[in-house]
Structure 1
Amino acid sequence: MGQAFTYAQNQWPTLVALFQDGRLLIDNNHIENKIRPLALGRKNYLFAGSHEAAQRAAMIYSFMASCKEHQINPYQWLKDTLDRIPDTKLSELHTLIPSPQWEPMEQNT
């Protein structure tokens, strides 16, 4: 019991701030759930075969996570990006990154 009281006493300033400011959340489950795939990915990168392969896998994970975050269909984004790369100038590569401003190329039908 003494350890529990000591812990609560040491955390008291944080608890006071938590209850005085309604914007603060009591847990961080939302953030932990968002970073869990990245943590699992880090573990998987150990078995990528080489450092370069692990870097490529990390980039793909990052692109897919960005698509998910911005509610972009990953398949559509990847297909569109691969179609656009040959005609994109080096100075315009940033336009291919999945972001809220990303829009798919007009389809020629």
Structure 2
Amino acid sequence: MARYQQRLEKSRPILDLFSERLNEQKDRVLPKRALGKAITYCLNQWNHLEAFLLDGHLEIDNNRSERFIEPFVIGRKNWMFSNTQRGARGSAIMYSVVGTAKEYGLSPYHYLRYLFETLPNMDVTNKEELDKVLPRSTDVPSICKVPGKREANKKIVPKTQF
């Protein structure tokens, strides 16, 4: 709630001034020029720009997302050499599992080992049982957790994400 209030007090006036300037300038510049295109783009995306003001839990930037997808960008060239589409899909799934484990403060090695030992012995069609082994679960053994890693991310990531 405090972060939300601070954003309204500090960021809202800056965004209002920026919006005012954009609207002033849009009629003064040629729409086909780079500045005209930039102003039009910014005004068309305005609701996305100010979305962080709606909820204090929302991040102000996408740095966390960028860090999360970095391995995919790096791995993209490696996937070109996957022999099959199925192999490339398997690699992408592993990147996703490892990235999500890291976001939840888990050691990828220990978490994957836990999954490889647990999944063969359970009914993976049972959603409740499967939820118990997801990175967000409180049932994941402490051996999988990285000591001293903050667990604040657990509150931010929606339950529908893996």
Percent identical? 27
What letter matches 2:87 in structure 1? A
What residue is the counterpart of 1:52 in the other structure? 86
What residue is the counterpart of 2:130 in the other structure? 93
Q: CA deviation at 1:71?
A: 1.1
Q: CA deviation at 1:36?
A: 2.3
- For normalisation by structure 2, the TM-score amounts to 0.48
What letter matches 1:55 in structure 2? R
Mean Cα displacement is larger for which, 28-37 or 71-80? 28-37
What residue is the counterpart of 2:11 in the other structure? none
Partners in 2 of 1:48 and 1:64 — Cα distance?
19
Matches within 5 A, 1:1-109: 3-11=33-41, 13=43, 18=49, 23=53, 25=60, 28-90=62-124, 91=126, 92-104=129-141
Mean Cα displacement is larger for which, 6-15 or 83-92? 6-15
Q: CA RMSD in A?
A: 3.3
The total of aligned residue pairs comes to 104
Partners in 2 of 1:30 and 1:105 — Cα distance?
24
- For normalisation by structure 1, the TM-score amounts to 0.66
Q: CA deviation at 1:82?
A: 1.7
**Other structure's SS at 2:91 match:** helix
Partners in 2 of 1:16 and 1:86 — Cα distance?
48
Partners in 1 of 2:131 and 2:45 — Cα distance?
43
Aligned CA distance change for structure 1 residues 8 and 69 (closer, same or farther; 3 Å): same
What letter matches 2:73 in structure 1? A
Task: Summarize deviations over 1:34-68 as a string: whole Å, max 9, x none.
Answer: 32222232332121222222122111111101111
Contact kept? 1:72, 1:98, Cα under 8 Å: yes
Mean Cα displacement is larger for which, 49-58 or 68-77? 49-58
Aligned CA distance change for structure 1 residues 10 and 96 (closer, same or farther; 3 Å): same
Task: Summarize deviations over 1:5-49 as a string: whole Å, max 9, x none.
Answer: 42344246258765x777385x64443333222223233212122
Runs of 4+ in 1 over 4 A off after TM superposition: 14-18, 27-30
Gaps of 5+ in 1: none
Mean Cα displacement is larger for which, 2-11 or 36-45? 2-11
